[in-house]
Amino acid sequence: MPRFFRRLSKHFICSDWIHSGLCLLAASYIRFVQFTSRWEVIGEEIPRRFWKENEPFVLAFWHGRLLMMPCCWERSRTIRMLISQHRDGQFIAHTVAHFGIHSVTGSSSQGGKRAFRAMLQALRAGESVGITPDGPRGPRMRVGPGGVVTLARLSGVPVVPVSFSAKRAFLLTSWDRFLVAWPFGRGVFVWGEPISVPRTADAATLEERRQAIEQALNFATAEADSRMGTK
């Protein structure tokens, strides 16, 4: 979350209407950036193949590339995003709700099992879910054991990586190096190929798929940054 919004949200946390207003302001900024910039989509046929067939998938992206993710999703398709119970997480949940994105509350430290069950149930019901495999606390750009890999294995649903970058942007000094795109520029979304995890996968296969997801996300991020000249 941009520091400005985080500080305001923390200061006014007891005021529901101010908190709601800040979330609306953040959502409005995302839309402003979207509509005033020229966006390119690399690998657009990958998610559209799933949407066309009404097949769910696990959308995976790094925590630091969260800002513009609501803009890469097909609005007519249901998605539930895993978001932490922390104050920052709830700010994000209420912000992305303006884009029709539902949230599942939980993290590795709080409510993890309940959230995992909710995501598994959603996937089995034909809904997609969104996960930041390095969130909410890092380490940055690293996929942890379990989590997304286990979810893909138990659900039989593939993981599809995506990242974004922008020509006019800056990186915050936060742990995740959060990328904030400026309006009136250029941007790009880069989708990666689906990665499946066999239901019968042993420990070695799970580790191999974990590494594959991590490498795919890093490749998508590097490709997006390379196209935009972002460092």
d(CA 229, CA 24): 30
The structure tokens 């990186």 sit at: 171
The pLDDT score that the predictor gives to residue 110 is 55
The structure tokens 């409005």 sit at: 28
3-state secondary structure of 198: coil
- pLDDT band per the 50, 70, 90 thresholds, residue 145: confident
The pLDDT score that the predictor gives to residue 51 is 97
Structure tokens at 34: 């979207």
- The 10s digit of each residue's pLDDT in 158-195 is 999 999 999 999 999 999 999 999 999 999 999 999 99
d(CA 131, CA 219): 17
Looking only at Cα atoms, what is the longest distance across the chain? 50
Contact 199, 154 (CB under 8 A): yes
Domains of the chain: 3-228 (3.40.1130)
Any idea what the Cα angle at residue 193 is, between residues 112 and 29, rounded to 5°? Answer: 65
Whole-number percent of the chain with pLDDT over 70: 91
The pLDDT score that the predictor gives to residue 8 is 45
The pLDDT score that the predictor gives to residue 10 is 53
Structure tokens at 204: 């070695």
d(CA 177, CA 170): 9
- The 10s digit of each residue's pLDDT in 56-108 is 999 999 999 999 999 999 999 999 999 887 777 888 999 999 999 999 887 65
**pTM for the full predicted model:** 0.90
